[in-house]
Structure 1
Amino acid sequence: MHTSTTMHTSEFEFLVGGRSGTFDDALPGLTVTDRVAVVTYSPGGSLAAAPLLLASVGRYYELLRSRGESFYRYPSYYVIHVGRQQAYHGWLDVWSANKEVVVAPHGEAVLEALSDRAITRVLLEDAGSKPGELMRENANWFLEDVRDVLTFTPGRREGDFSVRSSDAAATFAVRAARASHGILTDQDIDRISARAYHPQGFDRITQSDGLGKLCAYGPTPGVLGQDDEYLRRHGAGAATMQHHRFKVS
């Protein structure tokens, strides 16, 4: 909650198509019940999303203050780490450690982590797009319930829209980089710290295209990534699981 009085959406710079915009151009209609997740696969890659993540934190606290009540709470914002811990994000109000979620390096594992947390807005570090197979019920949840799917490439300043951090937000991004020493090298930290004061671009994609982005994090292993013993105990053989297959092309 160290950001509850220091993040103000009016202090972030939003550009949409080269013209001045607002927070609502990025994540329209964000409410305190929205659940935001950044998915990252490279060391420190998630910190490139800090401008939009911290602007969202600012909006969350603005909405709470508008109620005129005292509060002590954090937003339901998460970082999904593909394969291993890629950075630490407590300085960005992704707090506490339970909101740093490490998953196996494949699309179904990422999708399950998002579904389990009922995420409504997703920021994907872009790893390209690939075909693959996912659990149908989880893919349908993503297609039907996730409101916004955004992609970003660390250091890319342009996109459908860009966000430049406030000075306070940039300072917290630098602190997050330094707190991640050991995961990040000194050179990584210097690069991320310099980048914290520049705009970061984001692209808005469809939920269907988002599934292809998830598959690019790695092929789903085995029987749709499911535990063999669990399937055996429930009599879920190949014929049963065929109904659960969702092909991403």
Structure 2
Amino acid sequence: MHVMALFKGSMFDAAVNGQPATLEDVFPGWHEHDRFGLVIDETFGGIGATHLLQLAMTAFYDIKPSRRTAVTVYPEIYAFHIGKGRGAHAHYDFWPARREVILKTNDHREVLDAINDRGITRLAVPDRPMRDVVHRPKEEDAAFDRIASAFVYSPSGRTADADLTISGNDKRTEFNPTQTLRPLAELSVNRVSSATGKPIKEADDAFLHWIREREHDLTEDDRPRARAMREVLKVNGLVTESYRRVSVVEALKRLASAGLTVTM
């Protein structure tokens, strides 16, 4: 729940087609019932969508400030791991663990079912080839009716033919990827939030158990590779990421290749 106190919109600079953009430009019509979904098909791949995810979390709290004070809830964000677990992303506040959905299949029908089940309204998918596929009856229509924004991202953090960039201008915007890529043995455990004085997930035995479980997703090379990929983006400790805004139709066609074509 550190995200609740950590981020402010002013920590990010966005641009659409090279022109300065607001949160409203990135997520038009964001409302208090929006839910952000991130499809992940590469180990630690979600790190490539760090700033888009963090901006969505900021919007979640900004649209209803009482969430930071009166009820202190976790943001409505969901990670969909395709084929298998792709490394714990729980440090981003995908918590409790049900917010990281481990789909032990790359069947596009199962993936869309899971997205629809969680009521996702803003969706980010990895930059994979488009495929024409057939979903279960009415599942595509349900997604078209509900999803208001769709994005293509790259696990590397830089997407080809991007029309949206999001930059961190405060080094705290790199806290989540740094924690995510830190081995369990190196994680320091605080018992309460310095901002709210309330217990935090990092001190929860269930959280530590989840992180340990997700360590089984990894090979020896996965963490160093992901760290190197993030480091190459940094300028003075800050990162600029790029994305493509796409139609929901295109997002679902690219979703259909998630887990099938992974560029290492």
TM-score, length of structure 1 as denominator length: 0.80
Output aligned runs, 1:94-173, within 5 Å.
94-103=94-103, 104-153=105-154, 154-156=156-158, 159-165=162-168, 166-173=170-177
RMSD between superposed Cα atoms in Å: 2.2
Matched length: 219
Name the SS for the 1:81 alignment partner: strand
What is the aligned partner in structure 2 of residue 84 from structure 1? 84
What is the aligned partner in structure 2 of residue 187 from structure 1? 225
Distance 1:189 1:209 in 2: 30
* Structure of greater Rg: 1
Residue 95 of structure 1: how far off its partner (Å): 1.0
Percent identity between matched residues is 22
Residue 32 of structure 1: how far off its partner (Å): 2.6
Letter in 2 for 1:170: E
Name the SS for the 1:64 alignment partner: coil
Q: Deviations over 1:161-208 (max 9, x none)?
A: 111124212122211122576623323223235536321111111122
What is the aligned partner in structure 1 of residue 13 from structure 2? 13
Residue 67 of structure 1: how far off its partner (Å): 7.9
Letter in 1 for 2:171: D
What is the aligned partner in structure 2 of residue 60 from structure 1? 60
Choose the corresponding residue for 1:178, options 182, 186, 189: 182
Residue 51 of structure 1: how far off its partner (Å): 0.5
Name the SS for the 1:185 alignment partner: helix
Q: Which moved more, 1:41-50 or 1:150-159?
A: 150-159
What is the aligned partner in structure 1 of residue 250 from structure 2? 209
What is the aligned partner in structure 2 of residue 45 from structure 1? 45
Gaps of 5+ in 2: 184-213
What is the aligned partner in structure 2 of residue 198 from structure 1? 239
Distance 2:252 2:43 in 1: 22
What is the aligned partner in structure 1 of residue 204 from structure 2? none
What is the aligned partner in structure 1 of residue 195 from structure 2? none
> Relative to 1, partners in 2 of residues 1:70 and 1:218: Cα closer, same or farther, differing over 3 Å?
closer
Q: Is the 8 A contact 1:149 1:207 kept in 2?
A: yes
Q: Is the 8 A contact 2:47 2:157 kept in 1?
A: no
> Relative to 1, partners in 2 of residues 1:68 and 1:46: Cα closer, same or farther, differing over 3 Å?
closer
Matched, 1:4 2:27: no
Letter in 2 for 1:53: L
